[in-house]
Structure 1
Amino acid sequence: MVQLRSLAADSPSRRSHWYALGLSEEDMLKPKIAVVNSSSELAVCYAHLDGIAKIVKEAVRAAGGVPFEVRTTAPSDFITGAGKQGSYILSARDLVTNDIEAQVEAAMLDGMVCLTSCDKTPPGHMMAAGRLNIPTILVIGGYQASGMIGNEHVDLEDLWSGSIATRFGKPFPHDEQEMIRQAVRGPGVCAGMATANTMHCVVEALGLSLPGSAPVRANSEKMQDAARRSGARIVEMVNEGLTPRQILTPAAFRNAVATVLAVSGSINAIKHLQAVAVEAQVDVDIFAMWDEVGRKVPVLSAVRPNGEVRIEEFEDAGGAAAILKQLAPLIDTGALTCTGRTLAENLEAFEVIGPEIIRPLDRPISEGPSIAILKGSLAPESAVVKLGIRDGARPEYFEGPARVFDSTALALDAIENKEINAGDVLILRGQGLKGGPAMGGGGSIVLFAIDAAGIARDTAFITDGQLSGLCLKGLTVAEVAPEAAVGGPIGLVHDGDRIRIDVATRSIDLLVDAATLAARAAEAKGPKKAEGYLGIYQRDVQPMSTGAVLID
């Protein structure tokens, strides 16, 4: 049996504390397991996790371990994204990781089960797993139920886009109060293949959750069963000495990249995967891997917002396991998983239940890539474009004059006042890791406004900020690096400068000569200084090439 860290750290005073908590002499010799819970009464994304934690703890005890519930911050886009223009959303990802280190590592616990839910907890949990490198398994927190108005399905995407469209004189598609009541009908994350469900699929593709875990209806018997089995499995993993860095290999990351591309998932997965790799000390360049894998992987499923398939249908068709099964000829199925078996062994007896929902490679929804990495004189390091289903609905080549905005409010005013013309390239800058700080949500609001104004097909949109996983409107390029706040070329663009985007050549260029740009260099502005935790984040956050981690 593997030497337990908790025993190695034992001391009389430590045992005294644990006796007072009700532990027995026998318990002192058992594996000590952290049950990492982000339960919160603030957000429905996490509201059900106390019940799931109870199931996990009971399973840990039954398997011969001692569970300790550990709480972390609980970022939710629509709740904790209200303040500071959404800057707390991405920055909270790293708070989750540091919360776990400050409790689990400080107590030298032997393993952990992480209850992973809204967008930033899956990467935060995986980053902690890579950093601490103790046996870890993630339990997928599941997606929320949404409702119906008449015969029409209504979810949070409909409500959000409808609320922005009202600014442009368009009525809600249904009664506003009825939509508010129907859009979210229970606990869990947003329905659709937005960032949360994308990251849940990533967790399974990386091998850090039990097979068949993602996506899953929140609080369903299937989810509860996965929680129960994960509680038992973590004790076995501790006894086997199976740690995250044995699982988080380059092959595992390649499998995860292929999975996101096959479902046209959220572009946020790119930076999150890179951050996990950095924390796990895996020498992979996710951006380069993305470009390589993207040239091979087609789109195999069209879950909203990519198509009309609902997340329930995707789950019932086989979910992430079905995607991996269909991708098997293109990925490395020899990768080890938290089961102690390879991906190939996990998938051996699996059959795709819904081959029309999750297509085989010889019958894809569309050719790939669904997401591409661009580089060029406007983005010397990287930029990301989401193409989704490549059916000609959005252009893949665009050249036009820039319309430059340094704030979300100014961009929205220009759109509302019909100052953006067909052929323009709208640029929203100052939204990046340091400029936002932490990217915020301005880009998503502007993109939905462009769509609501009816100009998404006739313009292009570029930002150094991030986008919600729900965003798929027109030709949009996000996360331009270097960002404006650190002197990136996007900060030197003037109104009227010509911009060229060419997906075929993976390029994005500012068509201004070098001498002119050199003369503008003095115009570069640093970020407006943030305060409190956001000030710490702004000071310490590393470039996008690291996945925006806080460690140097």
Structure 2
Amino acid sequence: MELRSNFEKGTSRWATRRAQWRALGLSDEDLEKPKIAVVNSSSDLAICYSHLDGVAARVKETIRAAGGVGFEVRTTAPSDFIHSAGGRGGYILSSRDLIVNDIEAGVEGALLDGMVCLASCDKTAPAQLMAAGRLNIPTIVVACGYQPCGTFRGEHCDIEDVFLAAGHVAQGTLGVDELTEMSENAVLGPGVCAGMGTANSMHIVCEALGMALPGSTPVAANSQSMWDSAEQAGRRIVEMVREGLKPRDVLTPGAFANAVTAVLSISGSINCVKHLQAVAAEAESDVDVYWLFERYADEVPLLAAVRPNGPHSIEQFEAAGGAAALLKQLEGLLHKETMTVTGRTTGENLADVEVADPEIIRPADRPLGSRPTVVVVRGSLAPSTGIVKLAVAEERKLTFDGKAIVYDSPEDAMAGLRAGEIREGHVLVLRGQGPKGSPGMGMASRPVFALDGAGLTGKVAVVTDGQLSGLVNKGIVVGEVSPEAADGGPLALVENGDWIAIDVAARTVDLVVPGEILAERRARLIKAPVPAGHGWLSIYQRIVRPLQQGAVLRG
């Protein structure tokens, strides 16, 4: 078998690689085998990643037993709750693209033959999919599992409950002692956030796309199922190299439609939208993911209600059959001809799947609801797009009209709330938080949760070009408005007192200000200065593309 990792004997490339790898204990026979990158984002900074070294070691053992050689390749390891402290939160989304380039440098620089990518916290799975699409070498994504969580005074308590409760502390409606107790019980072991947030949503997306093995998502971290999936991936990747099955054989338009269908059916994270668009961009697939969410919004039924979108736990969802069972229930809506990493089609993979609990994962003809919960909106305030996340059993009013009150940072918004500036009937406009504006796309959820703590949920709407928690939002919140303010979008023109009209059912968000007034404001608008720094965020700010292109980096 010809491998791109092998070089002609006697050449300098062959000789120097042989010298290096022989010193690592590899034999001449090993040097002829498929060489597989085990992409690991291990880190001591966050519990999400703390178990990955053990997973990487097991995958490498399995690759060797299957006739290959595994090389561990490290990347940066961002955690939203740890790495949002610096750079106004800009290191979170921007780190996704840093991982992509880490993988390219490590894998493409060495001309390895395939990859097993260990997916954990929010940005790892999309980054690994993006790298797979870019490099187009045989790749399997392995979900490394969700964390166990605990209880607080007899009630379920996870990391998102802590995040939300902090907003209540900020408003004086919850004590610091209670928050301290919650934080001591929310996370009991390794893995990602235990709700249907970005991490678990993107793990399921990997399976729906066909880039993860069937039945491998979601999974409890360090469970036997997780170890079994990791070992299966180690064996299968060697076969994929021999077969020449590559990501762009899998990442077809039909696969993206399947992924969108899955996200809509579980009320998945809104962050999946931009991440899937970024994967399509890197795979050079001519897919408009935002349009797919609009196209399928009214066709895909809600089949699962996992916390915080509903009463069920991620453990119950896994026990009911997980992503495989979900796709089985969606079978009539899927592109079953799409290829997967198994070498079989989606339809073939689903042939023998059974749903263990049809109350947790409903059949398509007996859904929890038919109204979409991931809603793409447009209008004069969001000419490209904005996104609204609704809960599964949403009862709140889906329209809101009110006067704008404008802030340019989450800190200013929080201070305004404490000072009593934000009142019932306002539309809180939080701008300058987009990919360029932050830079790196700031987190807008803290003011949203603080509004909840102040008893203003449903009484104040929020419109922002920032990103929001993948797990839960409160009230009518329009996030990821594009074009962002830093690109001169209409959000940059809003002034205190302007009238804003939101209609989620009609999928519109409008700035109700006469055109001649907006033209005058635009004439006075000061163009954002060229970044002056030298660090990662200034580089990111210079070359990041708009959200409709996945916020990928292009020079």
Determine whether 1:25 maps to 2:18. no
State the alpha-carbon separation in 1 of the partners of residues 78 and 228 from structure 2: 26
1:379-407: CA deviation from partner (whole Å, max 9, x where unpaired): 11111111232532x22222211111112
1:551 matched residue in structure 2: 554
Counterpart code for 2:257:
R
1:153-208: CA deviation from partner (whole Å, max 9, x where unpaired): 21111111112211211125973333222111000001100111111111111111
2:464 matched residue in structure 1: 463
**Contact 1:487/1:525, CA 8 A, preserved across alignment:** no
Written as runs of structure 1 = structure 2, the 5 A alignment for 1:15-54 is 15-54=18-57
**Contact 2:48/2:192, CA 8 A, preserved across alignment:** yes
Counterpart code for 1:264:
S
Counterpart code for 2:27:
S
**Contact 2:167/2:451, CA 8 A, preserved across alignment:** no
State the alpha-carbon separation in 2 of the partners of residues 507 and 211 from structure 1: 38
**Contact 2:159/2:186, CA 8 A, preserved across alignment:** yes
Give secondary structure in 1 for the equivalent of 2:183: helix
Answer with 469-478 or 520-529: which moved more.
520-529
Counterpart code for 1:501:
I
Give 1:239 shift: 0.3
2:427 matched residue in structure 1: 425
Determine whether 1:363 maps to 2:374. no
**Contact 1:368/1:390, CA 8 A, preserved across alignment:** no
1:478-507: CA deviation from partner (whole Å, max 9, x where unpaired): 011111111100100111111111223221
State the alpha-carbon separation in 2 of the partners of residues 29 and 224 from structure 1: 28
**Contact 1:484/1:525, CA 8 A, preserved across alignment:** no
State the alpha-carbon separation in 2 of the partners of residues 366 and 452 from structure 1: 29
Give secondary structure in 2 for the equivalent of 1:381: strand
Counterpart code for 2:521:
R
Give 1:368 shift: 2.5
Give secondary structure in 1 for the equivalent of 2:6: helix
1:509 matched residue in structure 2: 510
2:306 matched residue in structure 1: 303
2:289 matched residue in structure 1: 286
1:412 matched residue in structure 2: 414
Determine whether 1:270 maps to 2:273. yes
State the alpha-carbon separation in 2 of the partners of residues 240 and 546 from structure 1: 32
Answer with 29-38 or 504-513: which moved more.
504-513
1:434 matched residue in structure 2: 436
1:93-113: CA deviation from partner (whole Å, max 9, x where unpaired): 001000000010011000010
State the alpha-carbon separation in 1 of the partners of residues 174 and 153 from structure 2: 18
Alignment equivalent of 2:154, drawn from 142, 147, 151: 151
Show structure 1 runs of 4+ deviating over 6 A.
Answer: none
2:198 matched residue in structure 1: 195
1:472 matched residue in structure 2: 473
**Change beyond 3 A, Cα 1:315–1:172:** farther
Q: Which runs of 5+ in 2 are unaligned?
A: none
**Contact 1:298/1:370, CA 8 A, preserved across alignment:** no
1:315 matched residue in structure 2: 318
State the alpha-carbon separation in 2 of the partners of residues 534 and 266 from structure 1: 25
Counterpart code for 1:22:
G
**Contact 1:485/1:525, CA 8 A, preserved across alignment:** no
Determine whether 1:499 maps to 2:500. yes
State the alpha-carbon separation in 2 of the partners of residues 534 and 368 from structure 1: 38
Counterpart code for 1:487:
G
Written as runs of structure 1 = structure 2, the 5 A alignment for 1:48-127 is 48-127=51-130
**Contact 1:129/1:244, CA 8 A, preserved across alignment:** yes
State the alpha-carbon separation in 1 of the partners of residues 232 and 274 from structure 2: 30
**Change beyond 3 A, Cα 1:411–1:90:** same
Alignment equivalent of 1:534, drawn from 534, 537, 541: 537
Determine whether 1:178 maps to 2:178. no
Counterpart code for 1:505:
A
Alignment equivalent of 2:218, drawn from 215, 219, 222: 215
Determine whether 1:403 maps to 2:402. no
**Change beyond 3 A, Cα 1:105–1:396:** same
State the alpha-carbon separation in 1 of the partners of residues 238 and 528 from structure 2: 47
Answer with 459-468 or 400-409: which moved more.
400-409
State the alpha-carbon separation in 2 of the partners of residues 252 and 312 from structure 1: 26
Answer with 105-114 or 527-536: which moved more.
527-536
Give 1:330 shift: 1.1
State the alpha-carbon separation in 1 of the partners of residues 527 and 59 from structure 2: 47
**Contact 1:434/1:538, CA 8 A, preserved across alignment:** yes
Give 1:551 shift: 2.3
1:227 matched residue in structure 2: 230
State the alpha-carbon separation in 1 of the partners of residues 189 and 435 from structure 2: 33
**Change beyond 3 A, Cα 1:265–1:15:** same
- Identical columns (%): 57
Determine whether 1:519 maps to 2:525. no
State the alpha-carbon separation in 1 of the partners of residues 370 and 415 from structure 2: 37
State the alpha-carbon separation in 1 of the partners of residues 332 and 359 from structure 2: 19
State the alpha-carbon separation in 2 of the partners of residues 406 and 170 from structure 1: 25
Counterpart code for 1:298:
P
1:327 matched residue in structure 2: 330
State the alpha-carbon separation in 2 of the partners of residues 192 and 527 from structure 1: 38
Q: How many residues align?
A: 549
**Change beyond 3 A, Cα 1:8–1:507:** farther
**Change beyond 3 A, Cα 1:310–1:73:** same
